[in-house]
Chains A and B, each alone.
Chain A
Amino acid sequence: MSGTFTKSMARNVFYGGTVFFILLFLALTFDSMQALPKRDNRQALTEQVAHGKKLWETNNCIGCHTLLGEGAYFAPELGNVYVRRGPEFIKAWIKAQPTGTPGRRQMPQFHFSDEELDALVAFLKYSSEIDTNDWPPNVEG
């Protein structure tokens, strides 16, 4: 950066470049929003699924698990757990916690009603049917 490239030129490049890439990002966002209905499984978004998502959030499941690869890395991926384990296993598992096995990582008991367990399973089923470009690589997540 020698004498010919001045501070005010640098500043102008900053403003110009930033505005350009913000606009490009907004354009890509707009295009994504048009493409999402075919990919995000929104036709499966029932009241029950929405209730399941709320339970997922208000019990902070993401504080131990990943969902589509995002969250915490302490416990298994759950975006595809519906495929890996199926609905009955999932409900039985949640009800049986904590295992109390000495030294093993523990999952809390959340005292869900049967209706709440069904909502959570519905949410996990909905999540597993989102088009994720074939992620995860295999069923173990």
Chain B
Amino acid sequence: MQYKSQAVAKPYFIAAIALFVGQILFGLIMGLQYVVGDFLFPAIPFNVARMVHTNLLIVWLLFGFMGGAYYLIPEETETELYSPKLALALFWIFLVAGALTIVGYLAVPYATLAEFTGNDILETMGREFLEQPLITKVGIVVVALAFLFNISMTVLKGRKTAISLVLLMGLWGLAVMFLFSFYNPSNLVLDKFYWWWVVHLWVEGVWELILGALLAFVLIKVTGVDREVIEKWLYVIITLTLVTGIIGTGHHYFWIGTPGYWQWWGSIFSALEPIPFFAMTVFAFNMVNRRRREHPNKAATLWALGTGVMAFLGAGVWGFLHTLAPVNYYTHGTQITAAHGHMAFYGAYAMVVLCIISYAMPVLRGRAANSDKSQVLEMWSFWLMTVSMVFITLFLTAAGILQVWLQRFSDTPQAFMQVQDQVSLFYWMREWAGVVFLIGLIAYIASFFVKGEQEPAAA
């Protein structure tokens, strides 16, 4: 570790992994409820499990982004963090607030939670991904601002690299777009219109800047390729991202009451959104092929390459699959959407966080890389999780195609629940693939505890 203050990243990474486990457990509960409808009912209704699953996902990714920033920024700016104490305090505030929110979801009916947390003052709850009580949302903003202050002050006093600037823009963008979660008019169309300014402009906008910066950082470290080359690529990738992704928001404005011209704008621009993801894959492989050193951390290199490929598959290919308006007319809000959501979130954001953890954690624990034994187990976990996610996606896609066919495309359309019964085989297979995913995750955690001969320190 080059800078003492980088150490604050460690608790962030540990919390991220712990919450990831929670996310997957609730995913498995829901996956079972898909086929055994009354499983855990009424203790944990499906909608509660879903909130826990998706909110834990967002929170652990945020922990990962913040940890990544605290690790990366001192090294990039060549100066200690502005305030490591603030970083540590924010860690506990965020963790406790997050945990209380999850407990709130599970312990009391949602309507009661809304009543006691100020939803009557400003109604923001009960919208997908933005289910957090008002006080939690305000807490998120406060933590984000204090975090950004800390990071920005560090960058201001240190070296300003493209990687740190892009990361900073992504993180500021994340916080700014989240402010739209406070706007929830009674007009459903307006509500939905600006809801996407949070959700879409996050995952297909500012988060991609964070993704690109983290990936570029790890690639510089493990390949030793010249910074000029890597940072030029980074700019090209994020240009493509925002040029396509901002107007690409239109692919959510086809059927929610918005004007018909969005079918053209949305289809054309979002159809181009796979390009930056493709560029990212080419970028990762290119840099690894041109490497100037053999970094002992093979696992981190694997995660970096995997992020490129899986983000392209999940976001690029599976996104393109249903993004043209005439196709989306039939697939909108089906299991096809769920298939894409899973592979994209895993391939792009879960994997890049696991990538930066894989690179940084050994250094934070005082070595350049883990022992071979530990790395072999970590690579097993990479393949178990990644391959099972491919299967989850394929099974959900199969279920989705049948759903579209029976419920939407047919001359004699069948009712939703009737169709669900007929595709249950695929839901069972999804659940088994999910069990394999959990095994992969357990192997991943186990790899942290495997000892063996270690590479000496000095990265």
The residues in B between 120 and 140 inclusive whose CB is less than 8 angstroms from any CB of A are: 123, 125-128, 131
Which B residue sits closest to A69, measured CB to CB?
Answer: B333
How many positions in chain B have a CB within 8 Å of any CB in the partner chain?
77
Residue among A49, A58, A100, A136 with most chain B CB within 10 A: A58
Interface string of B15-39 (1 = CB under 8 A from A): 0000000000000001001101110
B408 closest partner in A (C-beta): A137
- Across the interface, do B413 and A140 meet the contact criterion of CB distance under 8 Å? yes
Tell me which residues across on chain B come within 8 A of A140, comparing CB atoms: 407-408, 413-416
Cβ contact of A68, chosen from B256, B330, B409, B414, cutoff 8 A: B256
Interface residues in B304-348 by Cβ distance below 8 A to A read 329-330, 332-335, 337-338
Q: Which of B251-295 contact A (CB under 8 A)?
A: 252-260, 262-263, 265
- Give B198-220 interface residues, CB cut-off 8 Å to A: none
Interface centre among A5, A24, A61, A69, by most chain B C-beta atoms within 10 angstroms, is A69
Q: How distant is the Cα of A101 from the Cα of B258 in the complex, in angstroms?
A: 40
- The one of A49, A68, A77, A103 in contact with B38, judged by C-beta atoms closer than 8 angstroms, is A103
CB distance from A103 to the nearest CB of B (A): 6
User: Who on chain A is nearest to B110 by CB?
Assistant: A60
Interface residues of B, Cβ cutoff 8 Å to A: 30, 33-34, 36-38, 41-42, 45-48, 50-51, 110-111, 114-115, 119, 123, 125-128, 131, 162, 184, 186-190, 192-193, 228, 231-233, 235-236, 238-239, 242-243, 246-247, 249-250, 252-260, 262-263, 265, 329-330, 332-335, 337-338, 407-409, 413-417, 420
14 chain-A/chain-B pairs, Cβ below 8 angstroms: A7-B232, A18-B243, A39-B258, A57-B127, A58-B126, A72-B50, A74-B33, A105-B33, A105-B420, A106-B45, A130-B188, A130-B257, A138-B408, A140-B416
Taking Cβ atoms with an 8 Å cutoff, the residues of A that contact B are: 1, 5-7, 10-11, 13-14, 17-18, 21-22, 24-25, 28, 31-32, 35-36, 39-42, 45, 49-50, 53-54, 56-64, 66-77, 98, 100-106, 108, 110, 126-127, 130-133, 135-141
Top 6 nearest A-B pairs by Cβ distance? A63-B47, A57-B126, A105-B37, A69-B333, A135-B255, A10-B235
Q: A11-B235, A57-B127, A58-B114 are in contact. List 8 more A-B contacts (CB 8 A).
A: A17-B242, A21-B242, A24-B246, A57-B123, A60-B51, A63-B128, A74-B34, A105-B38
